[in-house]
Amino acid sequence: MPLTIRQATLSDIPAIARISVAAFHPSKDAVSRNLFPTHLQPTDQPDGYGHYVWRVYRKSSRLDNAGSVMLVVADDALPAADEVVGFAVWDIPGRHTLPSSAGSNNSVDPELLAVAKASMDDSAFESLRRSVASAASDVFGEAGYGNAWREVAPFPYALAAVDS
């Protein structure tokens, strides 16, 4: 099982969305259950489809955002369609902007975006955003996450390789 960590590409987004839905499925995760209530889910699609399409939208918007870094872990022994087995997203402090739930994203089919928007409770999403922003202000001060990170000079000493 040779694993490779690499920069995510647009072709990785479906696998990233599948992993994300599996990890945060509304049946297991209270936040997702609140954001993707049963009554808003499409009845003519498999369970979790609306959540999946929304994750495709959000994760592909991260690829389009210069303030985000997205990496995948690929199992090189698996077929290409199944090779992505994990992912990580890091929002660069001070450079990342959060898209609104109704934002635009040129990487997603407009019909799928309509499904994603219809599947999510916008008021729950906005409430969550306000709660997170309020908590950040409580912890880091008025500037919120703007005070969470400090740029420092590079580490002045080179790290030598350790022989084992």
The number of domains in the chain is 1
Confidence of residue 160 (pLDDT cuts 50, 70, 90): very low
Give domain status of residue 106, yes or no: yes
Say how many residues make up the chain. Answer: 164
Give domain status of residue 129, yes or no: yes
Domain that holds residue 29: 3-146
CA diameter of the chain? 59
Region 39-50: what's the mean pLDDT? 86
Give domain status of residue 156, yes or no: no
State phi, psi for 75 to the nearest 5 degrees: -95, 105
Give domain status of residue 151, yes or no: no
Give domain status of residue 158, yes or no: no
Give domain status of residue 96, yes or no: yes
How confident is the model over 59-93, as pLDDT tens digits? Answer: 888 887 877 889 999 998 888 767 999 999 988 76
Listed residue (100, 84, 99, 112) closest to 7, CA to CA: 84
Give domain status of residue 73, yes or no: yes
Which residue is listed with tokens 């928007």? 117
Confidence of residue 149 (pLDDT cuts 50, 70, 90): low
Whole-number Å distance between alpha carbons of 14 and 87: 12
How confident is the model over 98-143, as pLDDT tens digits? Answer: 554 444 455 667 787 788 888 899 999 999 989 988 988 888 888 7
How confident is the model over 22-44, as pLDDT tens digits? Answer: 999 888 889 998 999 988 888 88
Give domain status of residue 99, yes or no: yes
